[in-house]
Amino acid sequence: MKPNLASRIPWLPYPRMVTWLSDPRRKPGRAARVVAGTGCLDAADVLLGQWPGLSLTSGTPNSGQGVSLVLDPQMGEDRHRWTWTGRRVEIQAGSPRALARAARQVVVLDRFAPRGGPGVRVEDAPAYPHRGVSLDITRGRVPRTDALIRDLRRLAGWGVNYAQLYIEHVFQFASQPWIGRGCDPLSVRDVLEIDRAAGEAGLSLAPCQATLGHMQPILSQRPARHLAEDLASNTYQAPGFSLPKDRRAWTLTPAREESYDFLSGLVGDLAPLFASPWFHAACDEAYDLGKGQSYALARRLGLGRLFARHVRRVRDLASRHGKRTAIWADMIRHHPAALRHLPPDVILFDWAYHHHHDFDSVADLLGAGFETWVCPGTSSWCSLFPRIHEAFANIQGFAGAGHRHGAAGLVNTDWGDGGHPNLFAGSWPSFAFGAEQAWNPDAPVETFLERFVRDTCAAEDPRSVARALSDLGDLVHLERGGFYQSLWFAIFFAPVGHRCLRLDPDLAWVAERGEIGKRKVAVDADLGRAALDSLEGIRRGFSTMPGGKDDPFHLRDSWVFAADTMAHAARKLMTLGPGGRDTRAARRTLARESRDLWSRFTDLWDRDNRLSERKIVEARYRRARESLGM
């Protein structure tokens, strides 16, 4: 098979080793049999679904045609191989799950090239033992249990075998029942149901619970304010130090023994509900550690040792429940002295989200003797649509470097800063890309989007949809100093007169045909008009996708919505930006669009999520709309 055609076969993930043979392959005839034994039923059902004329039997395979399924545990749980020449398919795998995965690869090839072609031999096993995702189910948006289970099953189908739920305050903690009130938190039954479904799908599901920084939703409440490093009042002992008002009550203080009594309850409530052997204690972005109540302690121990001491205390709490602790590694990057004092069994999750990160720096953590997992991101947060080219470069960079240096896992992270104004459906291309890179860092990147669309979207014109995704990723990628992530996101939510609507031309990160670079950009009405022109073609590309029941993940409606939010931001720039025409009629149009977009947003939100704290996003829409004076 020609290389450019072979790379378009919609295998997800793409197999590690594919060899095209000189003997042609053909479909097994109607008299052929699927020969199976113990543990082979799922694989047999996959093949019989594609070739219903075949019969399922046991015994000795027919040497001329048919399908042979062989389970060989000595191969290893995730390894499989298969050969298809003539009318005969032979599949071997180390587990029933791997056998079914191989059968799906056979079916994908047959659907893509139904008239046959050269024979093929595939040998496949994942590059990373642990292939995961981190799902932010807090900070405004709590998914419905059935939707979360559906999403985990989809991820497992791409070879993902680890998932963690970033929780913060959205659980009904028995030890502190006041924590989750008013945010539609998960119940014990919810967690047990999700955990059971994850296990059945082959996923190890772990909690990721904030235990140091990012504890504002808990520490800002009256019963726990005294446990905040700043006493929930921006009160610090370090001379000249302060945090912005929106970061009050950010970090749990390690200066009080009561903090660990408090954490003991949270960990004890949560950890035993998950079958996973891991407990992720977060411990990231503790900006004010050692600046408030623990100031004297930090001066005596040093920040690195103080941080390590806290991790050890949390690790001891998790170990009571038979869990191994993982933490984010950013605080270690800021305070490398911590490495000498950390418990040696702690797993370090090394994260960064830019395309130009020094990915090989993961070797520093591995060289210190710690098990390390690399953690790229979907680049979906603070953006009207994920900046997929940033995400792909970030994921690919981490996948390659982590594999070279011996990282044990890859966990693709997705966040919802600011209340989750970013819809979850936008993250699916990056999730699929992360799953593929964790399995096979050498998979063909240039055909990924087309393969993803063929695998996931059932579109009439997969190439047009793939092109629309890439073009929207280009368009949304506008990053300038002083604005986090996408500048279009800032424009969309900006009130009249905001500084993002009156910028002078300056250098910005942009993407063109998937390539990221810097160039001078004038953020003005002409930029808005150019964006609108591009969005017309993007919307046409998405229109070829099915909707309704044929789109269970709501991709078409969510992606069209993302394109329309970009169009609103573009018209806003054409009205309120440099060179724009600011008229009452134009403002009325913007206000009407904003109301319509909010209505569509709530519909898309309600399809998969609890009401939770949607009011956070609603307030952002309302502030921007009311500033128009309409």
Alpha-carbon distance of 230 to 244, in angstroms, equals 12
Compute CA 603 distance to the chain's CA centroid, rounded to the nearest angstrom: 22
How many CA within 13 A on the CB side of residue 488?
Answer: 31
The list of the chain residues with pLDDT below 70 reads: 1-3, 61-63
Alpha-carbon distance of 480 to 488, in angstroms, equals 10
Alpha-carbon distance of 377 to 355, in angstroms, equals 10
Alpha-carbon distance of 254 to 231, in angstroms, equals 12
Burial 70-97 (b: 16+ CB within 10 A, else e): bbeeebebbbbbbbbbebbbbbbbbbbb
Question: What single DSSP character describes residue 277?
Answer: S
Tokens of 409: 């896992």
pLDDT confidence of residue 63? 62
Alpha-carbon distance of 551 to 562, in angstroms, equals 16
pLDDT confidence of residue 61? 63
Alpha-carbon distance of 440 to 93, in angstroms, equals 18
Tokens of 344: 């040696």
Question: What phi and psi values does residue 514 have, to the nearest 5 degrees?
Answer: 85, -10
Beta-bridge partners for 375: 351
Would you say 541 and 467 are in contact if contact means Cβ atoms under 8 Å apart?
Answer: yes
pLDDT confidence of residue 371? 98
pLDDT confidence of residue 59? 77
β-strands 87-93, 65-71: how paired?
Answer: parallel
- Please give the single-letter amino acid code of residue 136: D
Residues 6+ apart with CB under 8 A from 154: 553
Would you say 236 and 201 are in contact if contact means Cβ atoms under 8 Å apart?
Answer: no
Q: Per-residue pLDDT tens for 80-97?
A: 999 999 999 999 999 999
Question: In the structure, how many helices (H) and strands (E) does the chain have?
Answer: 20, 18
